[in-house]
């Protein structure tokens, strides 16, 4: 029986999101036999994401296709709890993506490079076999199917369930996850080039509401509520009432929900022949919940290390896999650690404090306001936090 009929691979990737598809693409490009297992019938749907990404973060890892980009953002506005506007206008910095197209496109690119994309395959269990290889079982769709390989990349999203079987404790504390709701809104009141953020405990306790215009009178409107301040159904209620107030008579479609990890990235990222990538590894910016660029980068690095680790006899050199952890830690790890530390500060800020910052920033030149400036202003009134953060920045 051939290896293909036996479902034997060099590398198994679980989850065809941005991290999983990049990993499969990188490993297949290097000539490895790769399978990419996806729970759903196709990658990318439904979209559980604001779809915003910075130019640099995206293009660092992949050349975006024109059809992946819905619109370009040239300005932003932050609205404080009592309604003070802070305008930010320092040039085009980001895109709104079509995640459905991008995710499907990335999975297709992985398949073009030779990875075997296998949809409708929820992996129900994964384990290490006595010979040192790993077995994934999909036992939910008719006959159980098995896949084995000496190297396993888990990119199974916010659930990160399979990692637990290999000794990682990936269960998130309620303070380390945002409970999110997402919708598409069609309305004549949408500003085409401006993303808007609403903060405050009424809008989204421990999180924020976003409006990301995607062109043609349509926007992604969504929010996250920190898990520790959530109650059943609150994100959906808050989102629908926000939309009703801000965009009366709008057409609302694609209402979905999802969790956004705002935790420290998982350490270690590699154990023996198993690697974690993307939301499964909590590779997300804890301040704003951004994760696309990090997932692309991590997936690519994990896939490259996995490809390099396969020996001529088909076994996996576990030490080579740890290159992925080091590459990640060096290039993004520290940055995300700082964001996580700053999240603590954001969470501790009450509405009156957010209003005071907005009040002082609203008098500044919109072209000169940056994230950094917002934080410096915030720290100026909480010097103890500055001290704490300084330790992390040095």
Site residues, other proteins (CB under 8 A) = 39, 48, 122, 124, 139-141, 157-161, 164, 170-174, 177, 179-181, 225, 227, 230-236, 256-259, 261
Q: Which helix (H) or strand (E) holds 199?
A: strand 194-199
**CA pseudo-torsion sign 55, 58, 62, 63:** negative
Q: How far is the CB of 256 from other proteins (least distance, A)?
A: 6
Distance CA 26, CA 22 (A): 6
Omega of the bond leading into 46 within 30 degrees of 0 (cis) = yes
CA angle 191, 192, 197 (to 5 degrees): 55
Nearer to other proteins, 213 or 258 (CB): 258
CB of 173 to other proteins, least distance (A): 8
- Given a contact cutoff of 8 angstroms between Cβ atoms, the answer to whether 89 and 367 are in contact is yes
Minimum distance from CB of 210 to other proteins (Å)? 15
> Is 236 or 388 the residue whose CB approaches other proteins more closely?
236
Which residues lie closer than 8 Å to 10 by C-beta, 6 or more apart? 27, 32, 33, 34, 149, 150, 151, 306, 307, 310, 314
CB of 377 to other proteins, least distance (A): 32
Residue among 167 and 383 whose Cβ is closer to other proteins? 167
Closer to other proteins by Cβ: residue 90 or 120: 120
User: Residue 159 Cβ, how far from other proteins at the closest point, in Å?
Assistant: 4
CB of 28 to other proteins, least distance (A): 26
Q: Could you give the residue ranges of the DSSP H alpha helices within 51-205?
A: 55-59, 99-112
Distance CA(119)–CA(246), nearest Å, equals 39
How far apart are the C-alpha atoms of 177 and 228, rounded to whole Å?
Answer: 8
219: tokens are: 């926007």
Nearest 10 degrees: Cα torsion 351, 352, 357, 362: 90
Q: Residue 13 or residue 316: which is nearer to other proteins going by CB?
A: 13
Give min distance, CB of 332 to other proteins, in A: 21
Q: Which is nearer to other proteins, 155 or 358 (CB)?
A: 155
Q: How far is the CB of 248 from other proteins (least distance, A)?
A: 23
For residues 31 and 174, which CB has a smaller minimum distance to other proteins in the complex? 174
Looking at the Cβ atoms of 84 and 255, the one nearer to other proteins is 255
383-393 and 334-348 are packed helices; what angle lies between their axes, rounded to 10 degrees? 170
Token pair in block for residue 301 = 């690095």
């Amino acid at each position: 029986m051939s290896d293909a009929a036996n479902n034997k691979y060099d590398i198994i990737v679980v989850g065809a999101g941005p991290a999983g598809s990049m990993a499969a693409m990188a490993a297949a490009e290097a000539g490895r036999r790769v399978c990419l297992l996806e729970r759903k019938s196709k990658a990318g749907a439904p979209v559980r994401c604001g779809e915003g990404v910075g130019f640099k973060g995206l293009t660092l890892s992949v050349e975006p296709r024109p059809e992946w980009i819905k619109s370009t953002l040239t300005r932003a506005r932050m609205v404080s709890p009592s309604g003070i506007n802070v305008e930010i206008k320092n040039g085009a910095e980001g895109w709104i993506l079509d995640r459905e197209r991008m995710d499907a496109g990335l999975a297709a690119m992985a398949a073009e490079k030779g990875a075997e994309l296998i949809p409708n395959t929820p992996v129900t269990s994964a384990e290490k076999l006595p010979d040192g290889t790993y077995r994934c079982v999909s036992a939910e769709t008719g006959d159980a199917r098995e896949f084995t390989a000496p190297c396993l990349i888990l990119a199974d999203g916010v659930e990160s369930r399979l990692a637990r079987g290999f000794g990682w404790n990936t269960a998130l504390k309620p303070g380390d996850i945002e409970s999110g709701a997402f919708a598409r809104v069609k309305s004549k009141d949408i500003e085409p080039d401006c993303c808007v953020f609403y903060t405050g405990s009424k809008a989204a306790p421990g999180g924020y509401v976003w409006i990301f215009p995607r062109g043609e009178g349509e926007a992604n409107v969504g929010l996250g509520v920190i898990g520790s301040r959530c109650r059943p159904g609150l994100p959906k209620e808050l989102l629908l009432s926000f939309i009703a107030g801000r965009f009366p008579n709008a057409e609302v479609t694609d209402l979905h929900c999802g969790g956004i990890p705002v935790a420290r990235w998982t350490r270690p990222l590699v154990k023996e022949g198993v690697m974690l990538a993307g939301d499964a590894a909590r590779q997300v910016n804890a301040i704003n919940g951004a994760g696309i660029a990090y997932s692309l980068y991590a997936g690519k690095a994990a896939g490259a290390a996995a490809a390099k680790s396969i020996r001529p006899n088909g076994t996996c050199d576990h030490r080579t896999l740890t290159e992925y952890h080091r590459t990640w830690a060096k290039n993004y790890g520290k940055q995300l650690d700082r964001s996580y530390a700053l999240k603590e500060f954001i969470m501790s800020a009450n509405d009156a404090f957010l209003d005071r910052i907005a009040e002082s920033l609203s008098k500044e030149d919109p072209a000169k306001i940056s994230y950094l400036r917002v934080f410096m202003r915030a720290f100026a009134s909480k010097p103890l936090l500055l001290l704490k953060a300084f330790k992390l920045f040095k």
